[in-house]
Chains A and B, each alone.
Chain A
Amino acid sequence: DIQMTQSPSTLSASVGDRVTITCRASESISIYLAWYQQKPGKAPKLLINKASRLEGGVPSRFSGSGSGTQFTLTISGLQPDDFATYYCQQYNSYAITFGQGTRLEIK
């Protein structure tokens, strides 16, 4: 299986901050990476696919980049609604795997 490692596990930030979450794959996955946002008690919400393609309706303050084994999710100008847990997911192979999650909390 391809292992996905996110860092940091927890991130404290303030409204208006710019934050970056990193996701590293144990082998190359090209650009086959998605990002999800999950709030407590809710299902994940798809934010980005193919490493950098923003889903419809997702605010432009979210952006993704990377290829191969290193990827980032950046949120520019944090809003109160953005405090949640974020997961990366690789889909380069049918053995789909998720990262362990990054909890974004209010400082």
Chain B
Amino acid sequence: QIALKESGPTLVRPTQTLTLTCNFSGFSLNTEGAGVAWIRQPPGKALEWLALIYWDDDKRYSPSLKSRLTITKDTSKNQVVLTMTNMDPVDTATYYCAHDVRLVRYFHHWGQGTLVTVSS
């Protein structure tokens, strides 16, 4: 059974760096084709894809946020980490991690999400 769970701070100050961790089970990022993405959703608004990392360490970023994002994986820990620099109140959102089963770029499995508020 595949499961993902996001963790990280609930409150971040403006200009700070956000670090979020996705812990997953039921699949391995050593498996060819497997990937994990980060997607966010501001309160009451639409989904926005942020970043994606694959089993071979191929990394893809949203063009509009690329300069602020870094995605990494720790295969031994079954973890994917997203860092986002220079946080702003407009970055307040629920952040989800999600599983790309086999290089398809859509997402069968999602975490429950974690709400991050950016405020001074």
Q: Which residues of A contact B (CB under 8 A)?
A: 1, 32, 34, 36, 42-46, 49, 55, 87, 89, 91, 94-101
Contact = CB atoms under 8 A, between A and B. Distances in A.
Mostly, the B contact residues are: loop
Interface string B12-55: 00000000000000000000000001000000001111001000
Contacts of B60: 94
B65 to A, nearest CB: 11
B106 A49 contact: yes
Contact of A43 (B37, B64, B96, B105): B96
Contacts of A100: 46
Contact of B46 (A34, A43, A46, A101): A101
Nearest to B47: A98
Given A1-B64, A94-B60, A95-B63, A87 B46 contact: yes
A55 B64 CA distance: 31
A93 to B, nearest CB: 9
Contacts of B52: 94, 96
A86 to B, nearest CB: 11
Contact of A49 (B46, B49, B104, B111): B104
Given A1-B64, A43-B110, A46-B106, A98 B96 contact: no
